[in-house]
Amino acid sequence: MNLLPFDRLPAHAPRRFVPENVAWGDWSQIAPLFDRLEARAARCANAGELERWLLDWSELSAALDEESSRRYIAMTCHTDNADAEQAHLHFVEKIEPHLKPRQFRLELIYLAHPLRVSLSEERYGVFARNTKVHVQLYRDANVPLETEEARLSQQYQKLTGSLTVQFRGEEKTLTQMVRYLEEPDRALRQQAWELAANRRLQEAGKFEQIFDQLLALRQQISKNAGFANYRDYAFRARCRFDYTPEDCLKFHDAVEREVLPALLDLQAERRRRLTLARLRPWDLAVDPLNRPPLRPFEQVESLVSNTNRIFDRLDGELAGGFKTLHDLRLLDLANRKGKAPGGYQSTLAEARLPFIFMNAVGVQRDVETILHEAGHAFHALATRDEDLHAYRHAPFEFCEVASMTMELLGNQFLETFYSPPDARRARRDHLEGILEVFPWIATVDAFQHWLYTHPGHSPPDRTAAWLGLMNRFGGEVDWSGCERARAHLWHRQLHIFLHPFYYVEYGIAQLGALQIWANAKRDPARALADYKRALALGGSRPLPELFSTAGCRFDFSAETVKPLIELVRQELAEPN
């Protein structure tokens, strides 16, 4: 049974090295391919042959990557299907543990290869630098620990995806409950918020337990690799060559100094407009003028067609790419029970095609999400002609520039969904959301710095650290009576469980996206051309060069934060 939303995809190119009918769930069929690559490396007689060898290795990596993505996609589309879960787990538990040592051996062979020095430094410099990091960090002893880490991540996904509440006589997922937080009826909002928060709190013990296990595993992984703590390990493993933990701490300070005043102003204005004495947690998403929520679409078909019209207005090539995704059924957008929460873009590495997953329920947030994920998809499409698999994806700090820029540029044409006043309202909401999200990014990132530099902490210590950050960055919201929900709010943040330290990237990238948006205000054609040129570089260049090609600076100090926040505030100050 095909559990994927799409059928057979067109091949990007015929395979040259990997046989056509490999059963990817059977390690005995995969191992000989690694044997052949190992044996062949020694026989490479010139630089051209070594490059050919790299491309064959790349072809194998892409095929394996795609298989892993397919199983992941099937599982997240059907969290309640035992076969999908089993197929994913089988790959994670029975294939990946074999793959890692074999990939490691190929990396060693490559780095030690006598012909490597004859390859172009310009072309292979970034690849060699990243490969060296993998080799330095690789430990056989960590392979089973990473398998366990993936299993626990899946448990977290399954738990969050399974949570439902009874609301107005119907069973609703927690994702479906989010839209009620935009309802003008305050009692209704409160009821919806409390139902969802209490449902999560019922599982608080399980979330804490999953996290404690992840924490112990991660500490052991970093120790095995010779690091004093998991933070330092994660910075290296994520190939963060261009910034340090201290830069991140300075970024948190910059957010506190430059963004928090803007957040407090927004909250004060919201309180005034809603004529409330105090803002409660369920007052944060409703329109401050108590207008009914924006309803950009009822059916996902119109989400797709209107998004397509936005891209038509923006750029013919991008519009064509989006249409291809739709035609190949690489969009699974509607929310339904059994789907994992959230949204993501995944690349089918061999077909070199992107897939977009999300949980659309008919709110403006869905429009933001599809523009965001489409930005990632355009990034994948832009690198289709790159034959080195490792260069077909950029560092995350820049991946999020691709996606967040598309939110800002796409928003210029929201009239495809709305009347002009509603489109302006949606744009304002988005910009306010940007101001609001920086403090949350700082909170989540600072929390992770704390988590992994305080080994042996207890759950109550952890809660205290979290609450300290909520006090520092949360603004003025009255949580009285909801203290437990506030103390466990981080349970909702999937990255903390699944992708440790992958969060500051959103802050770094948002600053890049805001710079491109500012460029587009001056010269839209040039800004878009620079953006597309940078996307096409994939991961072949260092981070600062990707940013500069896109027309922005790689910097997240107060010096960069301050003027961009001012620009957003100016835009918000303009009359509607």
Judged by the rule CB under 5 A, the positions of this chain that interact with Zn ion are 403
Q: Closest distance between Zn ion and the C-beta of residue 552, in Å?
A: 17
Q: Closest distance between Zn ion and the C-beta of residue 76, in Å?
A: 15
Residue 347 or 403: the one with the smaller Cβ distance to Zn ion is 403
Residue 308 or 369: the one with the smaller Cβ distance to Zn ion is 369
> Which residues have CB under 8 Å from 509's CB, separation 6+?
396, 397, 398, 399, 400, 401, 403, 404
Angle at Cα 467 formed by Cα 464 and Cα 468, nearest 5°? Answer: 85
Q: Closest distance between Zn ion and the C-beta of residue 547, in Å?
A: 16
Residue 97 or 342: the one with the smaller Cβ distance to Zn ion is 342
Angle at Cα 531 formed by Cα 530 and Cα 535, nearest 5°? Answer: 115
Q: Closest distance between Zn ion and the C-beta of residue 295, in Å?
A: 25
Here the contacts of 119-127 (C-beta below 8 Å, separation 24 or greater) are: 119/47, 119/50, 119/51, 123/540, 126/391, 126/539, 126/540, 126/541, 126/542, 127/388, 127/390, 127/391
Residue 505 or 555: the one with the smaller Cβ distance to Zn ion is 505
Residue 502 or 554: the one with the smaller Cβ distance to Zn ion is 502
d(C-alpha 285, C-alpha 178), whole Å: 9
One DSSP character per residue, 229-256 reads SHHHHHHHHTT--S--HHHHHHHHHHII
Length, in residues, of the chain: 576
Residue 474: name the closest of 269, 267, 285 by CA. 267
Q: Closest distance between Zn ion and the C-beta of residue 408, in Å?
A: 14
CB atoms within 10 A of CB 433: 14
Amino acid identity for residue 207 in this structure: F
Q: Closest distance between Zn ion and the C-beta of residue 502, in Å?
A: 10
Residue nearest to Zn ion (CB): 403
Residue 266 or 374: the one with the smaller Cβ distance to Zn ion is 374
The conformation of residue 292, written as its DSSP 8-state character, comes to: P
Q: Closest distance between Zn ion and the C-beta of residue 495, in Å?
A: 11
Residue 267 or 383: the one with the smaller Cβ distance to Zn ion is 383
> Which residues have CB under 8 Å from 491's CB, separation 6+?
200, 203, 204, 207
Residue 281 or 375: the one with the smaller Cβ distance to Zn ion is 375
CB atoms within 10 A of CB 366: 23
Residue 142 or 403: the one with the smaller Cβ distance to Zn ion is 403
d(C-alpha 26, C-alpha 285), whole Å: 49
Q: Closest distance between Zn ion and the C-beta of residue 377, in Å?
A: 11
Residue 403 or 510: the one with the smaller Cβ distance to Zn ion is 403
Residue 452: name the closest of 224, 234, 144 by CA. 234
Give exposure, 160-182, as e/b (b: 16+ Cβ within 10 Å). bbebbbebeeeebbbbbbbbbbb
Torsional sign, CA 252, 255, 256, 260:
negative
Angle at Cα 31 formed by Cα 30 and Cα 35, nearest 5°? Answer: 125
Q: Which residue has the tokens 């339904």?
A: 336
Q: Closest distance between Zn ion and the C-beta of residue 238, in Å?
A: 15
466 in Cβ contact with 490 (< 8 Å): yes
CB atoms within 10 A of CB 118: 11
Q: Closest distance between Zn ion and the C-beta of residue 375, in Å?
A: 8
Q: Closest distance between Zn ion and the C-beta of residue 574, in Å?
A: 28
Residue 307 or 403: the one with the smaller Cβ distance to Zn ion is 403
Residue 230 or 357: the one with the smaller Cβ distance to Zn ion is 357
Q: Closest distance between Zn ion and the C-beta of residue 397, in Å?
A: 11
Residue 488: name the closest of 223, 242, 202, 123 by CA. 202
Residue 403 or 448: the one with the smaller Cβ distance to Zn ion is 403
Angle between helices 230-237 and 420-453 (to 10 degrees): 130
Q: Closest distance between Zn ion and the C-beta of residue 503, in Å?
A: 11
List residues bridging with 66 in a β-sheet.
none
The tokens describing 574, both together, are 């303009």
